[in-house]
Structure 1
């Protein structure tokens, strides 16, 4: 029998088996019989969707764990058994069609374009209907009023069919599967206002409320579009990390032949040829060659690390100066870079679960308002039997209690706060970040590039002989090494004739001057055996193997670091340093700033673990960092901030980016966030008081929908006026500083790293 002759049930079974086999092949073996499958679920857009998907998938036999990431719209399913569970079929049944996921930054998300087009149509319709409504409210004659109502009806119908379908489709999908979401009451309210307005237009009524329906869609779409843009920025950090991984690498076979293989095809034990300028594709061990590696992704330090045979290298690090042969030790999915990506996704998933104040208020507010409108309709129907009057009063209740003031309470304050922060050189990437920033009680700083500028500075310059410094500067100007550049910056350019200049990767630079061989670099390389006492002297200048001068360096503190640390400590905030640098260097910076808590030699996963320990101890931590290695920590912290000089991935992962060199941006941002939180709470109180007064009047039938609309607008104006009071200084009342300083503020979570 040909496949075309198979019965329908058999074809469906074949498709189901093929889908499950595809899921099995795409799943990652976690060991001990546990597998992980990553799925893309584009239909997820709220907390209710997350609960539905997670609960539905957890009912499948063999499923151990389900986590949905709202930012990336991905579901991670961990399962056991010989065959994978029917995850794709279950998602289809739940109303959230999904497919196997693969992080890919090259594809554009079509959802943003769809939202922008819907927003444009809704804005056009709402604006024009509002203009026509002004003419009607101003006392247009009957024929003109009727014509304007029909034009408004046509514009509103286009708005509902095109822009409103975003809410209608979501509401229908929820209802079709026996559940509800926030789009259901929105859809009901919009359709009810449009339906009654159309009825009154057909029957030559005096009032129509097409403007209310279209304006509601317009303002809701603004919020949804901005939320989508914010989540897309969150995904950009993960995409940036993925771009650091090369697509493939040159593998040296046992017979001497060379093959270019995709990274996924590289197995442990394969020998990889790594040219200068290439990134390491997978974790491995250097077999041949000596070079410098840019390990900023792992340690955050800009100073290159010297590697030689036997040294371990990590995926994503950059080979700077010479070819290497590396023996792969793990597969790509188990490499350091893959672990970084997983850390980022896990951290973003946790942050996506943060419920904004407006969301928490709406969860209680919306059901109460809609229940009140329904009871109002029932009561007036029972009292008068006039369905039109009952519906009109119920709509007046909906309009006068419309959560516009409540909806504006948060975003208008955030807009004003963002403007205040921008005036101080601070960019806000996520409005929810302002709410989280107002809650912090601890701050963790990276060292290099954050507390310091990441630029070495030569110490004791005046104690160095001018001639020796000029020779060292002439050599240093030929090198890109940070220490060489620091030496070159301390001396005027002189015409010193250099011959046979050679830079030795990981060691230093040498040249012949007047018949003598000068070397600038590591003491163990530059000095002869007879100078053994000075061979561990760090960076030196030597002449024919003899020590000429020894150089010492320190990193330059970021401007305003001392004052910023003092202001934050006085505000009762616990402070610590989390760095990948050596303990002696981190300790020196901590002493200079008077910070008692620090942890050194931390890999990215170590920083994330420290932040989780602080969170487990009840602290809400602001992470301030700049390096590639800080990206997972920035995403894992309660809220995060990065300087504009940070790596792209660090800026993408942060909630705030400060544009100026001064670290004063940190206490300023905390101050504005705390003031904004206070005003948001005031706005919520104003909205509640307004509704407590207006709701009984509307239920009593004492206001028309027009008066209700005016009252609703007045409440919104009051909220906006209150938000404009937000200042830009350190105006929040400082919290009492805990006894014992930083250590008491942070508790025992960081004791091992002190």
Structure 2
């Protein structure tokens, strides 16, 4: 789809058939105009074809607040003819729909969404982030307005009902009531907009959500207060309406803040996918071109140290390819004429000419992305505790309020007192405590985890962490440190290590960099020359020295094999000098410092531990033996890892997946819950529910412990909210509670729930 280039600030805007440079303000106007004229959009331009022949579209959906919205959208779209699948991610508001093209079309899908009360846009990660940020800012402004208005109205109420109430004249009381109305009306109109818009959309779609009773309660309280002000009554309830909005907005803002932490993996693909390729033209000249202009059959140049941008076959050159982030294989792969290379891998040494087989589409990266989409959509089916409780809330509240009004009306007390009682029921049963029950715990727990080096990406991750009974680790870069290290430092002489380190400083090879770090060398050998992909040679004190592969240093194959037998998961670097025996250095990715103790701790807690890796069998077996892990598998591609996770799921297990590579991203999305180290590729970090900092694996058991305590607190909060309603509602129905007292009781329940959440900070770390 063509993109618009934006001057002065560079925002891209998905407008079709326009290749102009526009300002940000113009782009916003175009986008707003496009959203207003949703029916005129050619939605077929955003449809892709699945291998099965079905049509597929991804949409960003506005106005989603709870699981009831998700269920309504999925069931509603499922009733369209030809729709095979409709999955909504509750966190990112991303909707994926598949249908048979001969039965329906994309326009019908969007029209159905509109009839259900939801607005749709083509899914654009950058635009979604902008919408999320704008929504959070609006909620924060509404919260500030509600807080300011509530304080002022409460001051006026206190003035009326202070100790000298008998001295207040009717005129003075009415004056204070009108001042309260003057403050409350604009405050409610602005601060209540998030709830009013959502409630109106639900009512238009002939359905109910949590915002419907909220909007009814606030509107009735304000309308009744205006009527009683006009009639010079003693009691008005402007403060109740504004306080109601204030506490609800706190919960809504906390929830929105947690949700917007999740960023779609699509924002992070640039970390591994180069956006350009160096094309070799027929006349032999070279030039950088966008991947969109690279076609299969073209020839591209990949220099040493560059990331490969296409899938293809090598036509000229030899090198070593670092595939660790893509396949999990730790050893550099020797490649030459006729060998395949994949986008996302790193060319460690020589210059390569690659004949393209896939560029912008159809690469290994695209396959991983497709698997990741499928896994992410499946995981989004998880419904949070608060959403499950909220599904029962709206019908019960409306029923209770309606019965109270009808009952008292039949009892003969008049419609106004009956309506006041109904309003009190609506307010006292308001979901402030329910709305705060989960977000308050999430915020406190995420702060605790942040102090422990764990950053949450998903709002519902804590609830899933709490139910884990199986932990699956990737090996390369997860159980091991991301950078290679010298494995046999105690087997070589210090002077040999120093010389090797000085030679290694002259090489750009990643294994040489590991050797240079281990030696601590700072002074490179002068005159050293590097043979791309093989090693370095130089003359030191009149003696020719070489550092590189066994072949480059003329080491016999049986000697190299014997060294590898001692270190099966290592790569060899050889230091050769004329007249001296060669010195062999084994370089490998070392285990993280606390890997052994962390795995032992997890097993002590009764958790099942497995290792799934794309590395070769010997390397995985050695690590598993060191850690005491009996169940492991090697040489797994992304499909293989997902297959194992599905098998564990079929056994009823709740799996925590910990991984860092590109090949781990689909598995991270498919697992019940997932973590990734900060050293991981951005794609894996985006697919994971949490990211941990530093070289320590202690963040894994820490996250599980904190999540368990948080889950307990969430359940306690929901029980407190339910108990509050069980006690308060009968009093409200009986007519013993005014709307003001209902608002105070509602506020007290919210404070209790928040205080219970804060107890997490002072609990045992166990």
Same fold (TM over 0.5): yes
Matches within 5 A, 1:531-546: 531-534=556-559, 536=561, 538-544=572-578
The answer to whether residue 157 in structure 2 is matched with residue 157 in structure 1 is no
Q: Secondary structure at the match of 1:234?
A: coil
In structure 1, what is the equivalent of residue 13 of structure 2?
none
- Cα–Cα, structure 1 residues 238 and 632, in superposed 2: closer, same or farther, change >3 Å? farther
Distance 1:120 1:473, change over 3 A: same
| 1:577-656 matched pairs, under 5 angstroms | 577-656=611-690
Name the counterpart of 2:28: none
Aligned to 2:450: 422
The 3 A distance-change label for structure 1 pair 155 and 292 is: farther
Stretches of structure 1 that go unaligned for 5 or more consecutive residues are 1-14, 733-754
Provide the rounded CA distance (Å) in 2 between the counterparts of 1:405 and 1:106: 32
Q: Does 1:527 align with 2:554?
A: yes
**Distance between the aligned counterparts of 2:715 and 2:605, measured in 1?**
21
- Answering whether residue 391 of structure 2 is matched by residue 357 of structure 1, we say no
Distance 2:754 2:127 in 1: 40
Q: Whole-Å Cα distance in 2 between the matches of residues 255 and 227 of structure 1? A: 59
- Return the TM-score normalized by structure 2: 0.84
1:178-577 aligned at under 5 Å gives the runs 178-242=206-270, 244-252=272-280, 256=284, 262-276=290-304, 278-300=306-328, 304-330=332-358, 332-491=360-519, 493=521, 498-527=525-554, 531-534=556-559, 536=561, 538-544=572-578, 547-577=581-611
Deviation at 1:600, TM superposition (A): 1.9
Point out the more displaced range, 626-635 or 662-671.
Answer: 626-635
Whole-angstrom CA distance in 1 between matches of 2:535 and 2:635: 25
Aligned to 1:130, what secondary structure does the other structure show? helix
Choose 335-344 or 367-376, whichever is displaced more: 335-344
- Hey, what's the Cα distance between the residues in 2 that align with 1:342 and 1:218? 42
**C-alpha deviation, 1:681, in angstroms:** 2.1
Query: Which residue pairs with 2:48 in the alignment?
Result: 28
2-structure distance, mates of 1:244, 1:460: 32
**Cα deviations by residue, 1:184-233 (Å, 9 ceiling, x for unpaired):** 22222221222122222222333333233233334444444444444443
Assess if the C-alpha contact under 8 Å between 2:239 and 2:740 holds in 1.
no
Distance across 1 between alignment mates of 2:40 and 2:420: 56
Please point out which of 103, 118, 130 is paired with 1:96: 118
Query: How far apart are the structure 1 equivalents of 2:69 and 2:748?
Result: 34
How many equivalent pairs are there?
712
CA distance in 1, matches of 2:114, 2:724: 44
SS at structure 2 position matched to 1:684? helix
Residues 61-80 of structure 1 show CA distances to partners (whole Å, capped at 9, x for unaligned) of 44433333344433333333
Q: Structure 1, residues 512-546: CA drift from partner, whole Å, max 9, x if none?
A: 22444322222122216xx3433555321122597
User: How much has 1:313 moved relative to structure 2?
Assistant: 1.5
| Structure 1 residue 242 displacement after superposition | 4.5
SS of 1:393's equivalent in the other structure is: helix
- 1:750 corresponds in structure 2 to none
Of 61-70 and 665-674, more deviation after overlay is shown by 61-70
Is the CA contact 1:523–1:534 (under 8 Å) kept in the aligned structure 2? no
Pick closer, same or farther for the CA change 1:594–1:285 going to 2, 3 Å: same
Q: 1:69 aligns with which of 83, 89, 94?
A: 89
- CA separation of 1:610 and 1:726: change in aligned 2, threshold 3 A: same
* Number of the residue aligned with 1:701: 735
Write the distance in 2 (CA, Å) between the matches of 1:95 and 1:411: 25
Return the match for 1:171 from 192, 196, 199: 199
CA distance in 1 between counterparts of 2:588 and 2:307 reads 29
- 1:377-416 CA-to-partner distances (Å, cap 9, x unmatched) read 1101110241121111122222322232333332333333
Q: Alpha carbons of 1:620 and 1:492: their partners in 2 closer, same or farther (altered >3 Å)?
A: closer
8 Å contact from structure 2 (residues 441, 757) kept in 1: yes
Offset, 1:17: 12
Report the more deviating stretch, 28-37 or 571-580: 28-37
Describe the shift of the 1:146–1:431 C-alpha distance in structure 2 as closer, same or farther (beyond 3 A): farther
The aligned residue for residue 30 of structure 2 is none
Helix, strand or coil: the match of 1:238?
A: helix
**C-alpha offsets along residues 633-685 of structure 1, whole Å, 9 cap, x if unaligned?**
32322122233333444333333333343322222221221122223222322
Could you say if the C-alpha distance between residues 609 and 227 of structure 1 is closer, same or farther in structure 2, counting changes exceeding 3 Å? farther
CA distance in 2, matches of 1:251, 1:272: 4
Q: For residues 16 and 185 of structure 1, what CA distance do their matches in structure 2 show?
A: 30
Matched, 1:119 2:119: no
Q: Distance in 1 between matches of 2:260 and 2:532?
A: 41
The match for 1:4 is none
Contact 1:426–1:659 (CA under 8 A) maintained in structure 2 = yes
CA contact (8 A) 1:289 1:309 kept: yes
Q: Aligned with 1:365: secondary structure?
A: helix
Paired residues of 1:252 and 1:273 also in contact (CA < 8 A): yes
Q: Which residue of 2 aligns with 1:5?
A: none
**What does the per-residue CA deviation read over 1:92-127, in whole Å, with 9 as the maximum and x for residues that have no partner?**
4444343544x4547852343244134313422333
3-state SS, counterpart of residue 528 of structure 2: strand
Shift of 1:569: 0.9
Residue-by-residue CA offset, 1:595-635 (whole Å, 9 max, x unaligned) = 11112223334333322332232111112223344333323
How far apart are 1:45 and its partner, in Å?
Answer: 4.6
Does residue 41 of the first structure (1) align with residue 61 of the second (2)? yes
Distance 1:32 1:628 in 2: 26
Deviation sequence 1:419-461 (CA, Å, 0-9, x none): 3333433333434211111111111112233222233333343
Measured in 2, the distance between the counterparts of 1:337 and 1:596 equals: 32
Q: Is the 8 A contact 1:672 1:727 kept in 2?
A: no
Q: What is the CA-CA distance between 1:549 and the residue it aligns to?
A: 1.0
SS of the residue 1:333 aligns to = coil
Distance in 1, matches of 2:526 and 2:235, equals: 92
In the TM superposition, what whole-angstrom CA distance separates every residue of 1:46-89 from its partner, at most 9, and x where no partner exists?
43443444344444444433333344433333333469624344
Distance change (3 Å), C-alpha of 1:41 and 1:682: closer
